[in-house]
């Protein structure tokens, strides 16, 4: 069963017409795509309203964030660095910084206060803990 050249030519022409029609159908109009409206939840509505360009909450949040970042970088970190340098490198007052606690024994005198450490009470020999 052989196909005649005329039938083959007609078939090719019909395929071309169908392809063109299919391609034309793939083009979207200005109104497409038409999506069904979805009901937003509470959080979705909040974020949609919050992220609008000039919303009040967004502006206040942005300002608060910038204030916090500038406070940390311009105040807290420099104050911490100055405190560290003063405490560990520039302090000359005696007893202001305790590097190592000296051992105290009964009868020793505390230099800062002049207080004498009382002798230890010996526990009674009847109790063992």
Q: What is this structure's pTM?
A: 0.37
Per-residue pLDDT tens over the stretch 57-80 = 888 989 999 999 999 999 999 999
Distances in Å between the alpha carbon of 31 and those of 35, 38, 39, 58, 116?
10, 18, 21, 32, 94
Low-confidence spans in the chain with pLDDT less than 50: none
**Do residues 119 and 107 lie in contact, with contact meaning Cβ atoms separated by under 8 Å?**
yes
């Amino acid at each position: 069963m052989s196909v005649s050249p005329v039938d083959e030519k007609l078939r090719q022409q019909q395929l071309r017409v169908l392809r063109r029609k299919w391609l034309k159908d793939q083009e979207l109009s200005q109104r497409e795509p038409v999506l069904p409206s979805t009901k937003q939840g509470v959080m979705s509505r909040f974020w949609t309203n919050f992220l609008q360009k000039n919303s009040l909450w967004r502006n206040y949040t942005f300002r608060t964030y910038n204030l916090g970042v500038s406070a940390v970088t311009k105040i807290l970190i420099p104050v911490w660095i100055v405190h560290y340098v003063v405490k560990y490198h520039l302090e000359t007052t005696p007893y202001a910084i305790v590097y190592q606690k000296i051992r105290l024994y009964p009868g020793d005198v505390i230099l800062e206060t002049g207080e004498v450490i009382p002798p230890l009470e010996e526990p009674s020999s009847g109790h063992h803990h």
